[in-house]
Chain A
Amino acid sequence: MTTLHSSRFGDLEIPEEAVIDFPAGLIGLGGRRYALLSRTEDAAFAWLHSLDDPELAVPVTNPWRFFDGFEVELSDDEAARVGLSEDDAARASVYVTVRTGEHAEDFCANLRAPIVIADGRGHQIINQAQDAPIRAPLFGEHAVAAAAA
């Protein structure tokens, strides 16, 4: 059990089995040990919280909750780096980071750099799929228009 002194959420007890190792951290943010925090099992948003930096946490969501046609495609090099076989990939959890805004229409998910977690290990990868914008609107007219396009 690790105690996380989160600047956002106060002290939280993190069981060892909830610790996720990110060998290369999050792109540009670093960090090595993270845990996924969520209010309930089916909450729309979870937080990927660093266990090393009490201030470092990013909100994430399940991309398929908002984007039916979402696909992840890895380059061969990256697949080798991440070390995911086809079987592993089927078991992996995929999350995308979320940025908020003043209005619901400003909420976006980064479909270009999803986070893949399998067997206690996590990697942020570059999605090679054609339709994977950096800022995909989650709500509002933009999202409706994007879904219809």
Chain B
Amino acid sequence: MLIVTRRPGEKVMVGDDVVVEVMEISGNSVRIGITAPRSVPVYREEIWATIQAENAAAAATDPKALPDGVPAPKK
């Protein structure tokens, strides 16, 4: 993990396109601004992790658990 010290107003570049800016520090919370290309989704980690886990659980489904048998492509 790369660890850097930044002050409010200072930024970090992730590659050429993603900019992470420390906006404000107040008490024990930090406001962060993220500028990323439109095509890059940005999530709060806990939301990402919850949905990732739910997707993984769905992806572990045995077709026998569902009533519809072997499917054909839907156009």
Interface size class of B (residues with CB under 8 A): 20 to 34
Which residues of B are found within 8 Å of A28, using beta-carbon distances?
48-49, 51-53, 55-56
The answer to whether A110 touches B58 (Cβ under 8 A) is yes
Q: How many residues of A contact B (CB 8 A)?
A: 48
- Cβ of A107 to closest chain B Cβ, rounded Å: 9
The answer to whether A134 touches B71 (Cβ under 8 A) is no
A8 to B67, CA, bound (A): 14
B1 in contact (CB, < 8 A): no
B54 in contact (CB, < 8 A): yes
**With A18-B74, A39-B68 as given contacts, are A99 and B61 in contact (CB-CB < 8 Å)?**
yes
A23 to B40, CA, bound (A): 9
The answer to whether A43 touches B68 (Cβ under 8 A) is yes
The answer to whether B74 touches A27 (Cβ under 8 A) is no
